[in-house]
Structure 1
């Protein structure tokens, strides 16, 4: 299993871009130190957190533990997979429209819809946010998403 240090910069980038667009950090318990918070976002968050790059057919390059559990992929298969495969062919048009909205506005909130896991089984995502990732110079370098897999736990951080 990879150590958290391999993911620290990615989690920091997702958090910084989220803060750029919302003025707030990614949701996490207030009681955590900065290092604990980053580990929590990666390993213990009850919501999925993932990111893809800017390729013509964008590839996932980050997924937290909840995202991997939701999609039922091992990290080595999920990372590098075209992000369009996270939605069934029937749902890809709606997903693409959402991503185009994010490209135009920087962020979109409140998205719910179906995604598909490794076995081809559809599952619902709730209260999703998708935002544009920025590099250190402020240039767009991908998109990130946060979604809740359980509607009963939306907003609960314990």
Structure 2
């Protein structure tokens, strides 16, 4: 079963909870550095996290529904633009097949860590994402809402 759930706004505490709970269940780690209320954690993840976080939905051609400020800056999109972007467009056409294979592995296993791949900004600049972790956004009832990724490091190409 899947759903197309989107945050109501960048700091949506309920959507943060989906990100954080599914990350904790699958990887056994917390998404934020210290315990804090969901509203504060949602704000921290969106505004202050030193790593990029993106999430896409379960549409046939998945669209990003979340991108924190670090992701927006790296990919050169604002909130309105990134949350309308089909996630496949974050990679150039020659890299889309490799990206799709990565997403399929995560669908089978639930998550993958240590991923490295080439991505592209809105203006066409290429960069490498390094040590990325992608996981399934599955709520407590087992409903799939999409996939999310943490990108801790990038470098220009």
The TM-score bracket by the shorter chain reads 0.7 to 0.9
Q: Does 1:36 align with 2:43?
A: no
What TM-score results when the alignment is normalised by the length of structure 1? 0.85
- Alignment gaps of 5+ in structure 2: 1-7
Aligned match for 1:17, one of 16, 22, 27: 22
CA distance in 1, matches of 2:57, 2:78: 19
Shift of 1:4: 5.3
Local SS of the residue matching 1:29 = coil
Separation of aligned partners in 2, 1:3 and 1:52 = 15
1:107-118 counterparts in 2 under 5 A? 107-118=111-122
| Residue 47 of structure 1: aligned partner | 51
Q: Quick one: which of 56, 59, 63 aligns to 2:67?
A: 63
Unaligned runs of 5+ in 1: 152-158
Match of 1:82 in 2: 86
Q: Sort the Cα spacing of 1:150 and 1:84 in 2 relative to 1 into closer, same or farther, 3 A.
A: closer
Aligned residues: CA RMSD: 1.8
Aligned residue for 2:93, secondary structure, equals coil
Question: Shift in Å at residue 36 of structure 1?
Answer: 3.3
Moved over 4 A (4+): 2-5
Aligned pairs (5 A) from 1:128-143: 128-143=132-147
Task: Tell me the residue number matched to 1:121.
Answer: 125
Q: Structure 1 pair 23/91, CA: closer, same or farther in 2 (3 Å)?
A: same
Distance 1:23 1:131 in 2: 12
CA shift digits 1:71-107 (9 cap, x unpaired): 0001111102110000111111110010000000000
Aligned-pair distance for 1:137? 1.7
| Number of equivalences | 147
